[in-house]
Amino acid sequence: MTDESTWIIQAQQGDEEAFTNLVETYQKPVYNLCYRMLGEAEAAEDAAQETFLKVYQNLARYDRERSFATWLLSIAAHYCIDRLRRRRFSSISIDEDEEGQTDIPDRSAPDPESETAKRQERERLSNCLQSLDPTDRAAVILRYWQDCSEVEIAQALKLTVPAVKSRLHRARRALADLWEDKPAHVRTERKPYGSPAF
Amino acid sequence: MDHRPFEDWLLDNQPLNHNQKRQLNTHLQTCSSCTAIAEVNLALKSAKLAAPAAGFSNRFQVRLAARKQELRRRNFWGFSLLSVSALGVLGWVSWPVLKGLVQSPVNMLASSVSSLVSFWASLQAIFRAGMVLFKVAPGFVPTYIWAVILFAAGAWSLVWVVSLVKLTKVPQGVKS
């Protein structure tokens, strides 16, 4: 039996120290998911904390046959999706991007210029991400940041595997169009087969 | 070669063989749209995890303790309100009995007999009214109304049973 399984069983029996171990193990992936979903450090901290509270309250319902990480990330993703839907009409500030939160330092960073370029690219990617539909965004984050398989994403977001594939396909298309700074109406169009432009 | 397969390779993130990679690289030199997809894929693959500020689990402990305290406070006020309400209802219901206790035994007996007689008379009156209604109503109410009433009662019972079954189901992951 792994440490994680032991902690889960102990936490289900009311052992708070075991639950703290789970929080320490999963704080980074949960925070990262919330941060990439919500785009703000403060909101991400709050969402991550609320996710762990929900997990604490519902731990008795957790099915040990399932992956704990997938279950946990599923709760975090749905919490963020709900939150984004609630604040759909209010604007989100992306400019404060890195303030109040820290990316894991890149030890292989060769020089400050390259670091600045990477930082700009991260900000650009973050801006593009914020324009996606919340569920598509969650699928992209789970795929690339959490390294989840399409099956795990489907379980986490309560979708079918073909739906996940379709959402990832659509999201990559939308991100590429945003990356190119295309106007919104062009984004939705599918390139005709064998376009003369190419 | 057409643009479409390259775009699909990139959008579906398909694994490519050596020859396909070479063809894609050649295509990327002339196609800005596919280059954007490739750049996004690369940026996504090299993206790093954002970490919370130090002391996350300590802040969680504080929040958990605050939430528990809030829950305890809410439970306390809920229980207090329920107790006061229950006492109020109990006082209101038992008031005639309590009043009787301070009267003389003869008066208490008389009032008890009187209450019993009046209760019995009320029951009889209700029963008689019910019997009259039972005999008279079928003549006034059309058959289809009875059908609707019976159907509604059946549907209501079904909803009731389904709700009970759902509410009493053991939650997932909890050993019974």
Q: Which of A45, A124, A194 sits opposite B52 (nearest CB)?
A: A45
- pLDDT at position A117 over 90: no
C-alpha A32/C-alpha B48 separation (Å) is: 9
More confident residue, B172 or A160: A160
C-alpha A75/C-alpha A48 separation (Å) is: 10
**DSSP string computed for A23-82:** HHHHHHHHHHHHHHHH--HHHHHHHHHHHHHHHHHHGGG--TTS-HHHHHHHHHHHHHHH
Nearest to A94 by CA among A44, A136, A40: A40
C-alpha B171/C-alpha B176 separation (Å) is: 9
* CB contact B95 to A (< 8 Å): no
Summarize pLDDT for B19-75 with one digit per residue, the tens. Answer: 888 888 888 888 888 888 888 888 888 888 889 999 999 999 999 999 999 999 999
Nearest chain A residue (CA) to B27: A198
Give the bridge partners for B50, in sequence order. Answer: A103
CA distances from B135 to A134, B131, B146, B148 (A): 64, 6, 15, 20
Phi-psi region of A147 (alpha: psi -120 to 50; beta: other; left: phi over 0): left
- pLDDT at position A99 over 50: no
Q: How far is CA A41 from the centre of its chain?
A: 13
C-alpha A97/C-alpha B151 separation (Å) is: 61
Is the C-alpha dihedral spanning B62, B65, B67, B69 positive or negative? negative
Per CB-CB distance under 8 Å, the chain B contacts of A124 are 43
Q: Which residue out of B35, B64, B71, B176 would a mutagenesis test of the A interface target, given it has the greatest number of A Cβ atoms within 10 Å?
A: B64
Per CB-CB distance under 8 Å, the chain B contacts of A27 are 52, 56-57
Distance from CA of B136 to the nearest CA of A (A): 55
> pTM for the whole thing?
0.65
Domain A3-95+111-187 coded CATH 3.50.50.60: no
Per CB-CB distance under 8 Å, the chain B contacts of A101 are 50-53
Summarize pLDDT for A6-18 with one digit per residue, the tens. Answer: 999 999 998 989 9
A29 and B33 within 8 Å at the Cβ level: the answer is: no
Q: Domain locations in chain B?
A: 4-45
Q: Residue B31 in contact with residue B6, Cβ under 8 Å?
A: yes
Number of A/B CB contacts below 8 angstroms equals 131
Q: What is the pLDDT of residue A111?
A: 67
Per CB-CB distance under 8 Å, the chain A contacts of B49 are 28-29, 32, 103-104, 145
pLDDT grade for A90, boundaries at 50, 70 and 90 = low
- pLDDT at position A184 over 70: no
- Helices A68-86 + A41-58 axis angle, to 10: 130
Give the bridge partners for B51, in sequence order. Answer: A102
Per CB-CB distance under 8 Å, the chain A contacts of B52 are 27-28, 31, 44-45, 48, 101
C-alpha B176/C-alpha B174 separation (Å) is: 6
Per CB-CB distance under 8 Å, the chain B contacts of A48 are 52, 56
Q: Which of A28, A61, A194 sits opposite B171 (nearest CB)?
A: A61
- pLDDT at position A91 over 80: no
End-to-end Cα spacing for chain A = 56
* CB contact B68 to A (< 8 Å): no
Mean pLDDT of B161-170: 76
B171 and A180 within 8 Å at the Cβ level: the answer is: no
3-state secondary structure of A100: coil
Summarize pLDDT for A120-160 with one digit per residue, the tens. Answer: 878 888 888 888 999 999 999 999 998 899 999 999 999 99
C-alpha A62/C-alpha A176 separation (Å) is: 38
Q: Residue A54 in contact with residue A33, Cβ under 8 Å?
A: no
Mean pLDDT of B85-109: 82
Q: Residue A33 in contact with residue A142, Cβ under 8 Å?
A: yes
Contacts of A159 (CB under 8 A, 6+ apart): A135, A139, A153, A167
Q: What is the pLDDT of residue B1?
A: 57
Q: Which ipTM did the prediction report?
A: 0.73
Q: What is the DSSP letter of B31?
A: -
Summarize pLDDT for B123-156 with one digit per residue, the tens. Answer: 999 999 999 988 887 778 888 888 999 999 999 9
pLDDT grade for B169, boundaries at 50, 70 and 90 = low
Summarize pLDDT for A20-79 with one digit per residue, the tens. Answer: 999 999 999 999 999 999 988 999 999 999 999 999 999 998 988 889 999 999 999 999
Per CB-CB distance under 8 Å, the chain A contacts of B11 are 169, 172-173
* CB contact B106 to A (< 8 Å): no
Nearest chain B residue (CA) to A25: B57
Record the tokens describing residue B65, joined without a space.
């303790």
B49 and A103 within 8 Å at the Cβ level: the answer is: yes
Mean pLDDT of A164-169: 92
Record the tokens describing residue B70, joined without a space.
């809030």
Q: Which of B13, B48, B60 sits opposite A23 (nearest CB)?
A: B60
